[in-house]
A and B are shown apart, each in its own frame.
Chain A
Amino acid sequence: MVLEATMICIDNSEWMRNGDYGPSRFQAQADAVNLICGAKTQSNPENTVGVLTMAGKGVRVLVTPTSDLGKILACMHGLEIGGEMNLAAGIQVAQLALKHRQNKKQQQRIIVFAGSPVKHEKKTLEMIGKKLKKNSVTLDIVNFGEDDEGKTEKLEALLAAVNNNDTSHIVHIPAGPNALSDILLSTPIFTGDGEGGSGFAASAAAAAAGGISGFEFGVDPNLDPELALALRVSMEEERARQEAAAKKAAEESSKQEKGGEEQDATMTERASEGASEADNKKNEFLALAMSMDEPASSQDLQDTEMSDAAAEDTELALALQLSVQDSAKDSSSQADMSKLLADQSFVSSILASLPGVDPNNPSVKEVLASMQSQSEPQQKQDEDKAPKEEDKK
């Protein structure tokens, strides 16, 4: 909740017409500016924000530091793109504007959007940086857009000259599918202002970045229970769909190949089923299963296509394994499971290979026995089912 007066320097040069960020670089920048203004004014009601443009006929101050968000947003309309950005002049005018802030207790901060090439010398920038440091002005640089030789270096040099106790930051944003403003949310520019950076920034970060806040699906069940529920339900449906697809693939693979591969594919599922007993052994099982897949794949011609299917199937198998762990009611895997479970020696050999599980452990033996008894009545049903499906295909 730092009391701050901020000047945002916008780049409205010709380079901002480019569309590699968002709808256009300029639009992405405008969104980011709106976000920053909102965050600053929310984090402390006495914060003021001002905006100036650096390109065009010259540096022009659009709005002097004010806490009126409406004024700031209004002045962003009707901005024209053109000319070249004058970074040095922009920063200096911003500094002058901050000098005239009404509340002298406010911390001075300048946020610069550097999207076009920087034509100033490194020395000039360093001198400006030193002057800023002398006047205890902190600087945040958003480096995006054009990346010509030396631009990053110059900006880093500028930052080094200004930086005092790590209060100034630089952010490099490459072009990509994510919006400029979304990426900015997770940077120190937002999170750096005070503990937690205010509820606005935190909730916006949670919504945009999805999962940073740690909630499942990135939506707080307290804030929006219906949305969280809907997301969960759709996730379950997706899993069910994936498991059905995996089932089909597993069946197809079992239909086509000869013995060994089926064993491998189903052993993957088998092994993962066994892992449900010891969740933390899950990864080792998977590794084991995959290592079993590999030697098998070297066997015969059909194996090569099978191994591809199996390799893809490991993804499906993983999804399958997850769904199986959740529901534990997958009938087809149980059908295969029952076949293999019958082979108790095989299962115990697998369990023996696990570092932590002792096959002679009475509880493990108990579980195995129960699984086996469970599988026997199922086996008859499933054997009827399996030949039927093979007849169809």
Chain B
Amino acid sequence: MDVIKTQQISPRPIEKVIVHPLVLLSIVDNYNRVAKDTRKRVIGVLLGTSFKGTVDVTNSYAVPFEEDEKDPSIWFLDHNYHESMFSMFKRINAKEHVVGWYSTGPKLRENDLDIHRLFHNYVPNPVLVIIDVQPKELGIPTKAYYDVEEVKEDITLVVKITPFSPANSSETLA
């Protein structure tokens, strides 16, 4: 766990998320094989580097994930799989760290906040990227989110996921 966590000593607020094409391709491919024409979604981990407030997502892999359709609070993500997979990826490219996770959505769901919390164990400020695998219109098929803690008037702590402003998320084509 320590190896995974030492990437950022002081988390700098993220301003920009860049998603590389390999990531998009592998996510769509995985979705088409596994969950096409079903209401299930695919969840996976994003690997990359972050530098001066910009996150470069360069690699990804899916993880076994199950959720109960009727009860969104029942979900299971195989984190042992993720840890083993990540340690293997690290061997080929030590610079790639866990930067967040992705979901094929297509929209945010109720348990996304809980899953996001799980990823706090691996990276101080994880990024959630929703990939639209069946885009209806042209444009960037990704939407990036991060979580924010707010103290409301009645002194409760609220964590919510807020999007990056569209101008700040971009996609590069090689």
Contacts and interface: CB of A to CB of B under 8 A. Distances in A.
A49 to B, nearest CB: 12
A59 B75 CA distance: 9
Contact of B80 (A58, A59, A64): A64
Contacts of A58: 73, 114
Nearest to A94: B76
A96 B74 contact: yes
A184 interface: no
B74 A63 contact: no
Interface in B54-83: 64, 66-68, 71, 73-81
B78 A100 contact: yes
The residue among A59, A63, A100 with the most chain B CB atoms within 10 A of its own CB is A100
Interface in B70-104: 71, 73-81
A64 B78 contact: yes
Given A58-B114, A64-B80, A93-B76, A100 B64 contact: yes
Contacts of B76: 61, 93, 96-97, 100
B73 A89 contact: yes
Q: How large is the interface on B (under 10, 10 to 19, 20 to 34, 35 or more residues)?
A: 10 to 19
A17 B32 CA distance: 49
Contacts of B78: 61, 64, 97, 100
A92 interface: yes
B66 A96 contact: yes
A92 B73 CA distance: 10
B80 A92 contact: no
B80 A66 contact: yes
A120 interface: no
A163 to B, nearest CB: 23
A100 B62 CA distance: 14
Q: How large is the interface on A (under 10, 10 to 19, 20 to 34, 35 or more residues)?
A: 10 to 19
Given A64-B81, A89-B74, A100-B64, 5 more contacts: A61-B78, A93-B75, A96-B75, A96-B76, A97-B78
A92 B68 contact: yes
A269 to B, nearest CB: 69
Interface string A59-95: 1010110100000000000000000000001001100
B44 to A, nearest CB: 14
14 contacts: A58-B114, A61-B76, A64-B79, A66-B80, A92-B71, A92-B74, A93-B74, A96-B74, A96-B75, A96-B76, A97-B76, A97-B78, A100-B66, A100-B78
A304 to B, nearest CB: 71
Contacts of B73: 58, 89
B118 to A, nearest CB: 9
A91 to B, nearest CB: 10
Interface in A148-179: none
Contacts of B77: 61
* A-B interface, 3 closest residue pairs, ranked by CB to CB distance from nearest: A96-B76, A96-B66, A64-B80
Contacts of B64: 100
A99 interface: yes
The residue among A63, A66, A92, A96 with the most chain B CB atoms within 10 A of its own CB is A96
Contacts of A97: 66, 76, 78
